[in-house]
Amino acid sequence: MTTTARPLTLEDVRIALAGTCLLTVSARVEPGEVLTVMGPSGSGKSTLLAYVSGFLDPAFSASGRVLSGDIDITALAPEERHAGILFQDPLLFPHMSVEQNLLFAIPASVRGRAARRNMARAALARTGLEDFGPRHPDTLSGGQKARVALARVLLSAPRMLLLDEPFSKLDASLRGQMRDLVFATARASGLPVILVIHDAADAEAAGGAVIRVGTDA
Amino acid sequence: MSFARLGPPLAIGLLAGPVLAGLAGTLFPAFGWLPALGGDRVSLDPFRELLAQPGLFRSSLVSLLSGLAATLVALLGVALFMAAHAGSRFFGRVQHLLSPLLSVPHAAAAFGLAFLVAPSGWLVRLVSPELTGWTAPPDALVVHDPFGLAMTAGLVVKEIPFLLLVALAAMPQVRLAETRRLAASMGHGRVAGFLFFAWPPVYRQIRLAVLAVLAFSTSVVDVAVILGPVTPPPLAVRLVGWMNDPDLEMRFFASAGALLQLGITALACLIWLALERLGHVVLTRLRDRGRRFAQDRGLRAISGVLPGLSAGAVFLGLLLLALWSVAGLWQFPDALPRSFSLRSWERALPRLDGPLWTTLATGILAAALATVLAILCLRREDETRAPPGRLLWLVYLPLIVPQAAFLFGLQMLLIGVHAEPSLPALVFAHLVFVMPYVFLSLSDPWRAFDRRYETIAAGLGASRLKSFWRVRMPMMARAVLAAAAVGFAVSVGQYLPTLLIGAGRLTTITTEAVALASGGNRRVIGVYAFLQMMLPAAGFAIASLVPALLWRRRSA
């Protein structure tokens, strides 16, 4: 979790599908701040995250640059961008235990089995899931899975957090909890956040700037 | 994984290459041109010689009609069965029987059927002499009947599970529960509702598979040798005879015969297209006239008969094969052997190891190559995000061109370059037929993979290679191993490629088993056919056990 706080800059990002422009964004997200992109489903708001993380479908064309600090990450391979992403499903790797899921995320620069395991355990302890390391993801509740997914992405020392409607599948009580946890963590770790949603409630909780995409948003 | 780029060109080379080269290798000798055998003049003599063969018309007709009949009956059986039962719990249970049925090689299923329905077969024994009064087998040509009915039945029995499986794979295209409810609300019977509203899109999806069944059935050799007519045999069987004749001169008109076979299969496909048209017209007419067929209790009751009989015949046949392999004294009207002995096995074992070794080596290598190739192709599809289905024609090509038509040419090319029959040649010949099935069984689970896992892995800093080996492959392990097992089963069942490319020097359990057909020694046939079905079963068992074991270790 030794992320050096760097702002995220979207420089004239323009994404089009078959000549039709879906969205244009120019924004600067400071460490710990949240940029919210809001729009109805099908408006192409998730393509922004795909573009930043390096997984834009070739059917779309995109121009512009994404900078982390002064590093142009659009020039990097997806795995070198360190764009930590959370989807609406926790997507824990089902063939790994909780601890193995976390170990997978720890950068290779952390050497030694013991050191890596200690890091994973500490992350679990911070999440309040001390004894869950050997458990299989299937045996966890929805809220527990979401917390492990958050711990996993933080362990990978990301440059930013990309949130793709991450709370929309949680039930009402968990939703507020998880939302507060994610934003508090991002603030504490100094991570710039891009949040993609179609629900205004999440946008209010996030604070920060809001960009609307699509016509009937 | 950028070498996934190699996948599609490799697949095209390894599948379409042999097919096209083989067709060319058939075409030239058919017109008298094959310098290696002294043919250096283009002429129509091979065709003249071919037409002079006695009973050629009848052989061709049997091939054409039995192939069409087998395909039609199997398809109607599948359509009716799905119409009556798709979506029910009973149907869900039946699905589990499909894979084992599918993995039984054609030859083994045909032997089983023969053991069951022959005049001296088990069904007659069961009711003799009590009901029939027979103390000796009746003198009736039930197997090898001149109309090819037994052969047609043997094909139906094996193609029903295949068509049912591909139709099931196409079902997600149809929103079955909603369609059924909608049809019922308009007053349609269960069967009619399905056939009117759900079947047409399903059929569109499985059309290539149906044509593959038709091509296979019109040119089948092993099933025809075991169950088909003998005077004269179906065309494909006679082709093989001419082709394997020590008199090399016969290769010329055998090649002409292979072209005739190609023509017959093409004709069958044309007739099929007309039948499709007819079926479409009948179905739309009935639908548009507002016929509801609400009272279909009777139809539903008989819908299970054909699939049930097929499955029953295969399973009972396999049981009989196993029983015969350990039978001691088993005289005619007895329903069970008087004694059991392992003598057939003891006698066969010393001669088994060569063919068994070839079967295993070829099957494992072909299945492994096909699996790697299929993964590369699918991986490339991921990378380019090409719409699925672009490679489908290629995958079905070796299944729709009759085996006999291009394998002869391939053999001739090998003779032309003086290549000895070798294991690599055999593996590549098998690969042509194994790869399509491996690809078809892997593509659905592969495409169903949630690719957000890969986005997550990359976001966590995992390279594409790491993400592939530590996330994608482990999560796909079950599907990959199952596809490999399908490939192994297909390889074990191959008869004609082994016969022609192995050229008698390399034999497998399947070629040995079919060679025993004319001898009629049921005990020895039992041994070979039993092995033939045990090998694929062992493959499937390993494929399902390995992930289970890996899983247990992980969660411990």
| Inter-chain residue contact A53 with B461, CB threshold 8 Å | no
* CATH number of the domain residue A194 falls in: 3.40.50.300
Give me the pLDDT at residue B553, please: 53
Q: Which residue has the higher pLDDT, A142 or B363?
A: B363
- Place A215 in a pLDDT band, splitting at 50, 70 and 90: low
Give me the pLDDT at residue A178, please: 84
- Place B1 in a pLDDT band, splitting at 50, 70 and 90: very low
| Inter-chain residue contact B554 with A94, CB threshold 8 Å | no
- Place A217 in a pLDDT band, splitting at 50, 70 and 90: very low
Tell me which residue in B452, B461, B475 faces A79 most closely, judged by beta carbons.
B461
As a whole number, mean pLDDT of residues B15-28 equals 83
Give me the pLDDT at residue B388, please: 64
As a whole number, mean pLDDT of residues B240-247 equals 82
pLDDT per residue over B52-77, tens digit each? Answer: 788 888 888 989 999 999 999 999 99
pLDDT per residue over B254-311, tens digit each? Answer: 888 888 999 999 999 999 999 999 989 988 888 888 787 878 787 887 878 888 888 8
Helix (H) or strand (E) holding A9: strand A8-17
pLDDT per residue over B181-218, tens digit each? Answer: 888 888 888 888 888 888 888 898 888 889 999 999 99
Smallest CA–CA distance, residue B115 to chain A, in Å, is 47
As a whole number, mean pLDDT of residues B36-53 equals 76
As a whole number of angstroms, the distance between CA A1 and CA A188 comes to 10
Residue A112 lies in a domain: no
Tell me which residue in B452, B458, B555 faces A91 most closely, judged by beta carbons.
B452
Task: Say whether residue A88 is in contact with chain B using an 8 A CB cutoff.
Answer: no
Give me the pLDDT at residue A4, please: 64
As a whole number of angstroms, the distance between CA B21 and CA B42 comes to 19
Tell me which residue in A55, A93, A107 faces B461 most closely, judged by beta carbons.
A107
Q: Which residue has the higher pLDDT, B293 or B418?
A: B293
As a whole number, mean pLDDT of residues B389-407 equals 81
Residue A192's nearest CA partner among A45, A74, A81, A83 is A83
Residue A53 lies in a domain: yes
Residue B529 φ then ψ, to 5°: -65, -35
Strand, helix or coil at B289? coil
Residue A190 lies in a domain: yes
pLDDT per residue over A27-71, tens digit each? Answer: 888 888 888 888 877 777 888 888 888 888 888 888 888 888 888
Give me the pLDDT at residue B422, please: 84
If you write DSSP's letter for every residue of A62-114 in order, what string do you get? Answer: EEEEEEETTEEGGGS-HHHH-EEEE-SS----TTS-HHHHHHHHS-TTS-SHH
Tell me which residue in A85, A95, A96 faces B459 most closely, judged by beta carbons.
A85
Question: Chain A residues with CB inside 8 Å of B475's CB?
Answer: 93-95
Domains in chain B, start-ordered, CATH in brackets?
A: 1-32+341-556 (1.10.3720.10), 69-226+269-324 (1.10.3720)
| Inter-chain residue contact A79 with B462, CB threshold 8 Å | yes
Q: What residues make up the domain containing A20?
A: 8-93+143-212
Q: What is the mean pLDDT of chain B?
A: 84
Tell me which residue in B385, B459, B464 faces A53 most closely, judged by beta carbons.
B459
Helix (H) or strand (E) holding A11: strand A8-17
β-pairing verdict for A8-17 and A60-68? antiparallel
> Cis link prior to A134 (omega < 30° from 0)?
no
As a whole number, mean pLDDT of residues B411-417 equals 76
Give me the pLDDT at residue A2, please: 45
As a whole number of angstroms, the distance between CA B199 and CA B183 comes to 13
Residue A192 lies in a domain: yes
Give me the pLDDT at residue B22, please: 84
As a whole number, mean pLDDT of residues B386-405 equals 79
- Percent of chain B having pLDDT more than 90? 15
As a whole number of angstroms, the distance between CA A149 and CA A105 comes to 10
As a whole number of angstroms, the distance between CA A165 and CA B43 comes to 73
Please enumerate in sequence order all residues whose Cβ is within 8 A of that of A32, keeping only pairs 6 or more positions apart, or say none: A5, A186, A187, A188, A189, A190, A191, A192
Asked whether A109 and B461 are in contact (CB, 8 A), the reply is: no
Asked whether A40 and A217 are in contact (CB, 8 A), the reply is: yes
Q: If you search the block for the tokens 């899975």, which residue do you land on? A: A145
pLDDT per residue over A166-196, tens digit each? Answer: 887 788 888 888 888 888 888 888 889 888 8
Q: Is the pLDDT of residue B46 over 90?
A: no
Nearest-Å Rg of the Cα atoms of chain B is 24
pLDDT per residue over B351-379, tens digit each? Answer: 888 889 999 999 999 999 999 999 988 88
Residue A125 lies in a domain: no
CB atoms closer than 10 angstroms to residue B531: 23
Overall number of domains in chain A: 1
- If you count residue pairs, one on A and one on B, with CB atoms under 8 Å apart, how many are there? 74
| Inter-chain residue contact A83 with B464, CB threshold 8 Å | no
Give me the pLDDT at residue B72, please: 94
| Inter-chain residue contact B455 with A53, CB threshold 8 Å | yes
| Inter-chain residue contact B456 with A97, CB threshold 8 Å | no
| Inter-chain residue contact A104 with B450, CB threshold 8 Å | no
Tell me which residue in B453, B455, B459 faces A93 most closely, judged by beta carbons.
B453
Residue A106 lies in a domain: no
Give me the pLDDT at residue B390, please: 67
Q: Is the pLDDT of residue B510 over 80?
A: yes
Q: What is Dmax (Cα atoms) for chain B? A: 80
Strand order in the sheet with A210-212: A83-86, A160-164, A193-197, A34-38, A210-212
Q: Is the pLDDT of residue B556 over 50?
A: no
As a whole number of angstroms, the distance between CA B184 and CA B177 comes to 11
| Inter-chain residue contact A81 with B456, CB threshold 8 Å | no
Asked whether B49 and B256 are in contact (CB, 8 A), the reply is: yes
Which of A76, A87, A98, A104 to probe by mutation at the B interface, max B CB count within 10 Å? A104
As a whole number, mean pLDDT of residues B3-25 equals 82
Instruction: Report chain B's terminal Cα–Cα distance, integer Å.
Output: 32
| Inter-chain residue contact A153 with B467, CB threshold 8 Å | no
As a whole number of angstroms, the distance between CA B553 and CA B556 comes to 5
Smallest CA–CA distance, residue A82 to chain B, in Å, is 5
